[in-house]
Structure 1
Amino acid sequence: MEDLRQGPRPYNVNHLDAAIAHLEQVLNLDGANSLFSKTYWRSRVDQALSTPGLAPCQHARLQRLLDRISES
Structure 2
Amino acid sequence: MKNLGALTLLYSVGHLDSAIEHLEQVLSLEGANSLFSKTYWRGRVVQALSTPGLAPCQHSRLERLLDRIAQA
Q: For residue 4 of structure 1, report the CA deviation from its aligned partner.
A: 3.3
Distance across 2 between alignment mates of 1:37 and 1:17: 23
CA offsets 1:17-44 (integer angstroms, 9 cap, x no match): 0000000000000000000000000000
Distance across 2 between alignment mates of 1:31 and 1:67: 12
Distance across 2 between alignment mates of 1:12 and 1:6: 18
Please give the root-mean-square deviation of Cα atoms over the aligned residues, in Å.
Answer: 1.2
Aligned to 1:26: 26
Distance across 2 between alignment mates of 1:46 and 1:15: 16
Distance across 1 between alignment mates of 2:47 and 2:8: 10
- % identical equivalent positions: 70
User: Gaps spanning 5+ residues in structure 1: where?
Assistant: none
How many residues are matched?
71
Aligned to 2:43: 43
Where does 1:1-72 land on structure 2 (aligned, <5 Å)? 2=2, 4-72=4-72
Q: For residue 9 of structure 1, report the CA deviation from its aligned partner.
A: 1.3
Distance across 1 between alignment mates of 2:42 and 2:29: 16
Judging by fraction of residues, say which structure has more strand. 2
Judging by fraction of residues, say which structure has more helix. 2
User: Gaps spanning 5+ residues in structure 2: where?
Assistant: none
